Structure 1
Amino acid sequence: MLKTTRSQWRPVPRRNSRAGCATCKARRIKCDASVPSCLNCSERNLSCPGYGRVLRWKEKHQVTQSTASEIDAVRNLSPNTFQNDAKTKELVGASRSDPHLNNGEKQYSPGTKFRAIPPLPTDDDSSSSSPISEEITSPSVALRGDSLVVRSAKSETIPLWPSHLRSLNDRTVLLMAHYFRKICVINSCFDSFANPFRTEIPALMTTSRLVQCCILSMSAAHLRSARPEWSFDSLEYLTAAVSELMIEVNAVLSGFSFSTSAGQRLDNALLGAIMLGMTTSWHPSSGLGLEHISGSRALFRTWIQYKFDDGRKNEDNWSRLNFYLGLHAYWEAMASFLIDQDPGQLDYLHVAFTIPPAQVVTVHPWTGVSAIPWLYLAKVGCLVRLKRNLTDLGVRGRCSVAKIAASEYPLKKLEEEAWTLAGQIMSYSVPSDEQIEDTFDEHTSKSHLRDLARCCQLAALLELQRSFDAVHEQQAVLAWISNSFGHAANAQNCTSLLYTDTIRELSLRILRLLSNVPTNSGTQALHHLPLLIAGSVLLPHIMKESPNAPLRIAMARSEDLKETAIFSTIDLWRKFVMDRLTSLQQTVNLNGHLKIRLLLQEVWARGDALTRDPQLLPAGYLHWIDVMEERGLQFFF
């Protein structure tokens, strides 16, 4: 009979996982691995993430640290983290202080000019950092307890979190880190400490829950495109932002008074409406955000009346007016090609022509060196849609309401407005390099910004020429190209040209300008609309040169032999457009660029089919707006 020892019957002790939940691991404390929630998370009223392995994700072909490590890195940020950052060598003290946390500090607002200071001295160069902390290019940021703070020029500590966010949770910290690391980059044509989305807009979080919800909403929506588990957060913050916007608007409408607090609420409501309108499309199945545009127009008119009707025309008001005007001009330019509306709806933007000319042009994150080219592009979009509805050139199933509205607009009046607008577009002069203020972004030069403004001019003229063709206007457009760029057709010989020759010339001018801008330029965030407009006419029946075209047009396309060798055919130009859109999609990581690619591919396929069988559809019917609506490829970002 076998004998058993006492040690053989000793029960095996249960061993808990050393990993624990992600929250305990991030805090570097022991986790009891209780189910469904560990004791540490329960005591702190935190949502326990569980004990599964934390997934890693790729960005730019590099595997970053896990979510828990990222949170730990953000919680250990210090001023030393940013000392060697090229974008934050000069720090900006930019924040509205919370009255509950920092009484008596100076209040800031959009458009405020901030004085740059050198980096804070450090006694310890061994501060811990991580890939996220090295990429967050905000002012000097640190965590003090549960408060994210900014150090200002006077070495004072300014809270960046409002009082209603005292209990800072890990997901909120990660969203803010993603905002500074990624959103500030893709949401502006330049990125440095001078970027308002990096300094002035986050500073308003200390006083505005609406701005705070908008920032967290867009950050979660962008994260969702790569990590679906953020979908709930993005919709939750979007819903909260809409609710906060309703509260602010109701406060403005009910007993608005010309007081400092009322003016601040008006600022918050206007900025929140714009941010919501421009980023709603980032969320899945949430529409394009165009439902906010009419309300934002009304708020902007109220803001102008409040700031300028009582003789308050100080420098700060002009600066803020220029900021809000740029946001609206870009928004209207994008929306004008998507909705049917009277061009008079945009008259409120004419305030752009009343702003006193500045000796130095401040670069705007959404419009570059000026809002005026984008305003012209917005008016062109309205006129083009009206013309296609009026002459029944659009999709046959287009809404009858749009056709009825267009029928009340005389064709002759429409054409007169179009060519008056064309003259205004050609009379606009792009600021010189000496007039443009430095952006402190090594990837975005002044020449890139000037080329962007020229592309907007050319794109507006291209759409006008495509919808309102007239011989005398062809002469004026080609003469303007000759004076502005050189090597264009002689205006005296333009009477023998087809209107497609002018369209082709405008399209290739846009693509040449964009081909000179590197893909790492910050201006590429605004290249999508010029790329679409210029790329949509890369069609055989348009790009085929007419037999009467003067030799100088052909010479213009061969001024650079290397360029001609690369881009001498339609296929190569199409490849260039697709490559740029692919680069944009990889950089920005939003669904809109994919829709533009699909839209252009469909337009090109139909254009190629017209070459094989011209009886399928008259050439004038093929326009990217019609294909977009027919295929449901509306985009907005």
Structure 2
Amino acid sequence: MCKVGCRLPRLCLSIEVVLRNTRVLRTRLPVSLILLTARPTGFNKMFGTSRELSLISRPRGKQRLKRQTNNALLLHEPRDKNFLLFNHYFSLVCPISSLFDSGQNPFRSYVSEMMASSRLLFLCVMNMSASDFRKNDGSSIAPLSFQTEAISEISEEPCKITNPTIVTFDKPNNGPSIILSTSLYPVEDEVLLGIILLGITSSWYDPSSLDLSHIDGSRLLFQSWAKDQGLDCPSESRIMTRIQAFLVPSMVYCEVLSLAYLDTFLENAVFPSSFVCPWTGVETSVFSCLGRIGSPIRRKRSLVRTTLQDESGISQGMAYMNSLNEASLWENQMHRGQLPKLSSIEDTGDIKALLIHFRQLAHCYQLGGCLEPYCAFPELARARLESDPAARLPCDGIDKQSQLLLGIALDILNTLETIPDDCRTIATWTLVLIIAGSVLGKIKAVDERQFMSEQYTFNRNIERWGKFVLQSLSRIYQIIGLRTIQRAITLLVEVRSHIDFGTAPGDQTE
């Protein structure tokens, strides 16, 4: 406990250290004002009351007595841009950046401690806060200014890795010198986290940006960092430390968001399932498989658009089979994967983020990871029907493959519907909602005049779940406020309208 009764003394100390040591943020504001305005949910329980906080405020001069009499006046003091963004980060950005919000939230603990000694990470956090603060104001340049400074700071890091350092060793007895060229450079945790945050939050301000400009740099830094951490050894599996288990899923999340995946990505690393990742939930390995499945699917779709052979002379048929085999590998891993037991997972300390809900979300990731390849490769769907006929949703008027796709999509939506509306896991529903919603959009309503009441019920059921998808996405937009969610809603509505009018949706569902 610190002197203000703080139950998170490291966070309290970090705020003070950041303000004192970071040259970007040099204000004369008392620490009590910082803590009063940087209020997360349940502030008084974690940090103490305003009266307790006033004990560490020591204003000088004639205003001292006045400030101690009415602490509320502190909230009306002039506050500069950096202070406002710092406040916004702790009060609003931290809760929406993590699937749980408590003292265990890495953005309140690890990140606040790390940016106290890292100007680079501080700039990245300010960019993160400014992007969220000004996300609905396209004319604001605040996010761009912090982003520019952060990129300037981080631009030297990849060069230290790609440009080898010449090291000379003199042999004894006047022997010839040995000249070694090495690119070994220890990538700091703060540097890696900084570039990941830049990539992930780039679309917060500009929804057309999918952090592709940061991918190459972050991959280079990540590979070097993983090597330094001993996570790239193919001969042995390693259990990650807590900080590693925060950074690696962050990179996985960044890769999946950018519709890409690092091919040589810690093949033998064991993602710890003993605690919840703020980005991906309880099973990062499932989320990473979901990202990997997208690679063969995109290659298959690119083959559909061209009839030419690729540069290596491989025919379309061979390229298709390669994509099919890779997709089959990941589909099999998703379908047969085992989720961790709830008793083995560390509690998040957040009553709005229960472990059972994280496990349900991981199950939806698994289903989505199977549904995607079934949509892209009919062979995989037929194989699943042969091995598991009960997976389909029987209905006259649609083929068996569509019944399979619909059955899995409704399984996802039924699972999500059981999760309470105020659960924080909703922040990562977007991907599986789009996957399931796209399947609903492709199912054309059966002709009720030719069939019985079952078809009428079927059509109404599809309409209900379609509304559930759009309502869930709208709720996510209200919570997070990112315009990329609006684009997803527009996409699904357009897909549905194309089906209703009997026109082909083309590549929009991709």
Aligned to 2:122: 212
Counterpart of 2:241 (choices 295, 318, 341) is: 318
- Report the Cα distance in structure 2 between the residues aligned to 1:436 and 1:364, rounded to whole angstroms: 11
Identify unmatched segments of 5+ residues in structure 2.
22-31, 59-77, 168-183, 448-453
Does residue 501 of structure 1 match 2:403?
Answer: yes
1:581 has 2:473 as partner: yes
Per the TM alignment, residue 568 of structure 1 is displaced from its structure 2 partner at its CA by: 4.8
Are residues 1:572 and 2:464 paired? Answer: yes
**What is the identity, as a one-letter code, of the residue corresponding to 1:463?**
E
Call closer, same or farther: CA 1:178–1:505 in 2, change over 3 Å.
Answer: same
Aligned to 1:386: 299
- Equivalent residues of 1:98, 1:206 under 8 A apart: yes
Do the aligned partners of 2:297 and 2:376 also contact (CA within 8 Å) in 1?
A: yes
CA contact 1:132–1:177 (8 Å) conserved in 2: yes
Residue 39 of structure 2 aligns with which residue?
133
1:418-460 CA-partner distances (Å, limit 9, x unpaired): 2122111112111121111100010111111011111111111
1:386–1:129 distance in 2 versus 1, CA, 3 Å: closer
Q: Which residue of 2 aligns with 1:240?
A: 149
Deviations 1:93-138 (A, max 9, x none): 6859979979xxxxxxxxxxxxxxxxxxxxxxx9999676364859
Residue 317 and residue 414 in structure 1: after superposition, are their counterparts in 2 closer, same or farther (change >3 A)?
Answer: closer
Give identity over the alignment, percent: 28
Report the alpha carbon displacement of residue 219 of structure 1 after superposing the two structures with TM: 0.8
Question: What CA distance in whole angstroms lies between the structure 1 residues aligned with 2:477 and 2:83?
Answer: 26
Shift of residue 271 of structure 1?
Answer: 1.1
Cα shift at 1:266: 3.1
Is the partner of 2:431 in helix, strand or coil?
helix
Secondary structure in structure 1 of the residue aligned to 2:339 = coil
Shift of 1:268: 2.5
Write the letter of the residue equivalent to 1:608. Answer: D
Provide closer, same or farther for how the CA distance between residues 194 and 131 of structure 1 changes in structure 2, counting only shifts above 3 A. Answer: same
Q: Which amino acid aligns with 2:486?
A: L
State the match for 1:279 in structure 2.
Answer: 201
Q: Is the 8 A contact 2:385 2:404 kept in 1?
A: no
Aligned to 2:220: 298
Q: Distance in 2 between matches of 1:250 and 1:373?
A: 33
Show the counterpart of 2:354: 445
2:286 maps to which residue?
373
Name the aligned partner's letter for residue 246 of structure 2: F
Q: Does 1:627 align with 2:508?
A: yes
After superposition, the C-alpha distances for 1:555-592 in whole angstroms (9 at most, x for unaligned) are xxxxxxxxx99995222111111111111111101111
CA 404–171 in structure 1, closer or farther in 2 if over 3 Å, else same: farther
* TM-score between both structures, scaled by the size of structure 2: 0.75
Normalising to structure 1: TM-score of the pair? 0.61
In the alignment, what sits opposite 1:347?
A: 263
Aligned to 2:435: 533
8 A contact 1:578–1:597 mirrored in 2: yes
Q: Shift in Å at residue 278 of structure 1?
A: 0.6
Contact 2:210 2:257 in 1 (8 A): no
Q: Deviations over 1:352-407 (max 9, x none)?
A: x432x75x6110001101211111111221111111111239xx9xx999999995
Q: Cα 1:315–1:333, aligned 2, differ >3 Å: closer, same or farther? A: closer
Q: Answer whether contact 2:124 2:198 (CA < 8 A) is retained.
A: yes
Offset at 1:318? 3.2
Cα displacement string for residues 321-351 of structure 1 (whole angstroms, at most 9, x for unaligned residues): 3222211222222222xx6xxxxx6333244
User: Aligned with 1:569: secondary structure?
Assistant: helix
**Cα gap change, 1:373 to 1:99, in 2 (>3 Å):** closer
Distance in 1 (CA, whole Å) between partners of 2:458 and 2:8 is: 42
Partner of 1:331: 254
Contact 1:478 1:502 in 2 (8 A): no
Amino acid at match of 1:367: T
Q: Which residue of 2 aligns with 1:9?
A: none
Structure 1 unaligned spans of 5+: 1-77, 103-125, 147-167, 340-344, 483-487, 546-553, 555-563, 611-615, 630-637
Q: Once the two structures are superposed, what CA deviation does each residue of 1:61-94 show, in whole Å capped at 9, x if it has no partner? A: xxxxxxxxxxxxxxxxx975xx6xxxx7565568
More deviation, 289-298/589-598: 289-298
C-alpha change, 1:432 and 1:544, in structure 2 (3 Å) is: farther
Other structure's SS at 1:295 match? helix
Contact persistence 1:221–1:282 (CA under 8 A): yes
Q: For 2:253, give the aligned amino acid.
A: Y
Partners of 2:338 and 2:207 in 1: how far apart? 41
1:43-62 equivalences under 5 Å are none
Distance 1:390 1:215 in 2: 41
> Aligned ranges for residues 153-168 of structure 1 at < 5 Å?
none
1:602 corresponds in structure 2 to 494
1:627 aligned counterpart, secondary structure:
coil
1:165 aligned residue = none
Q: What letter matches 2:264 in structure 1?
A: Y
1:233-259: CA deviations, max 9, x gaps? 11111111111110333345456799x
SS at match of 2:262: helix
Pair 1:365–1:287, CA change in 2 (3 A): same
Aligned residue type for 2:133 = L
- Aligned to 2:485, the other structure's residue is in SS state helix
Cα separation, 2, equivalents of 1:310 and 1:334: 23
Distance 1:475 1:314 in 2: 35
User: Structure 1 residue 186 and structure 2 residue 186: aligned?
Assistant: no
Q: Which one-letter code corresponds to 2:411 in the other structure?
A: R
* Kept after mapping to 1: 8 A contact 2:138/2:205: no
Q: Which residue of 1 aligns with 2:73?
A: none
Q: Is the 8 A contact 2:445 2:459 kept in 1?
A: no
The answer as to whether partners of 2:123 and 2:149 remain within 8 angstroms in 1 is yes
Q: CA 1:307–1:450 in structure 2 vs 1: closer, same or farther (change >3 Å)?
A: same
Confirm or deny: 8 A CA contact 1:369 1:449 kept in the other structure: yes
**Worse-superposed segment, 136-145 or 582-591:** 136-145
**Equivalent pair of 1:532/1:596 in contact (CA under 8 Å):** yes
- Partner of 2:349, secondary structure, is coil
Contact 1:274 1:327 in 2 (8 A): yes
Q: Distance in 2 between the 1:498 and 1:290 partners?
A: 39
- 8 Å CA contact 2:361, 2:425 repeated in 1: yes
| Aligned twin of 2:425 | 523
1:461 aligns with 2:374: no
Alpha-carbon distance between aligned partners in 2 of 1:332 and 1:379, rounded to the nearest angstrom: 9
Paired position in structure 2 for 1:41: none
- Does 2:396 align with 1:474? no
Runs (4+) off by over 6 Å: 96-102, 126-131, 141-146, 313-316, 399-406, 564-567
> Which residue of structure 2 aligns with residue 514 of structure 1?
416
Which amino acid letter does the alignment assign opposite residue 361 of structure 2?
Answer: L
